[in-house]
Amino acid sequence: MDSRTGETLGAKPIAAGSDEVADLVARARSGDFEAFQEIVLRYQSRIYTFARRLLGNDADAEDVTQETFLALLEHLDQYRGEGPLLSWLLRIAANEVHRLWRRQNRQVAQADATEEEDSISQLPRPEFIAPWRDDPQQLLLRRETATLLDQALAELPEKYRAVFVLRDIEGFSTEQTAEMLGLSVANVKVRLLRARLMLREKLTRYFGDPDQRVSPDHPHT
């Protein structure tokens, strides 16, 4: 089966398939393990990928995935069907990731009061500026694109990667992202801008057309 059916846009609510999910949840609540398993199979790769991107290693991503579905199992009654189940699961997963970061004493979850000013005044300057040779639809058809995207994302410092994954990949709002990471809205905005600029730079080096490269110092008329 395709575990991605109807839920490809993450936190954005999607009508398609939601009745089906509500039905699976209802059956799971009444003790039907097959229905519960169907929910797991449907969302497991989304949760695993989310955790894997944030944490950067398999073992931690597996732990977070397992904890997330164990939490679903224990709290099936608390899911009221108000938002998409995927958003609910992603929030649980984000909590688990956060707990892991705190335990490992990572800086990702630490807000930095001076960060806003500091990094706004030293944004990374775009260097390789060129239109891409192909548009995103064409690029997505190529197998190597996924590898390049994962590689570029993995190379970002963790604190920028986390914000990019929540905001741009999973579609959470700036406020939700701030709450999930325990950061201020201002911190999230600055980190997101830096993440976007860094990824743009990396991807344009892969996908940009060197013959159409323009200089950042191009004089204005």
Partner 1 sequence: MTCEELLRLINELVDGELDLNLAECQEFAEHLAKCNPCQVVVDNIRQTIQLYRAGEPFPLPREFQARLLASLRRRWQERFARESESSSQASGS
| Contacts to partner 1 by CB under 8 A | 4, 8-9, 31, 33, 36-37, 40, 44-46, 48-49, 52, 58, 62, 65-66, 69-70, 73-74, 120, 123, 125-126, 129-132, 135-136, 139-140, 145-146, 149-150, 153, 164, 168-169, 171, 189, 192-193, 196-197, 199-200, 203-204, 207-208, 214-216, 218, 220-221
Which pairs with CB-CB distance under 8 Å and at least 24 residues apart come from 59-65? 60/100, 63/96, 63/100, 64/93, 64/96, 64/97, 64/100, 65/93
* CA 163/CA 186 separation, integer angstroms: 12
CB of 165 to partner 1, least distance (A): 9
Which is closer to partner 1, CB of 30 or CB of 105? 30
* CA 59/CA 130 separation, integer angstroms: 38
Which amino acid appears at position 22 of this protein? A
Which is closer to partner 1, CB of 45 or CB of 110? 45
Which is closer to partner 1, CB of 103 or CB of 220? 220
CB of 196 to partner 1, least distance (A): 5
CB of 83 to partner 1, least distance (A): 19
CB of 12 to partner 1, least distance (A): 10
User: Two tokens at 127?
Assistant: 């260097």
* 3-state SS class at 190: helix
Other C-beta atoms lying within 10 Å of the C-beta of residue 61: 22
* CA 15/CA 214 separation, integer angstroms: 44
CB of 4 to partner 1, least distance (A): 7
Helices 85-103 and 58-74 pack at an angle, to 10 degrees, of 130
DSSP summary character for residue 184: -
Which is closer to partner 1, CB of 15 or CB of 141? 141
Which is closer to partner 1, CB of 82 or CB of 220? 220
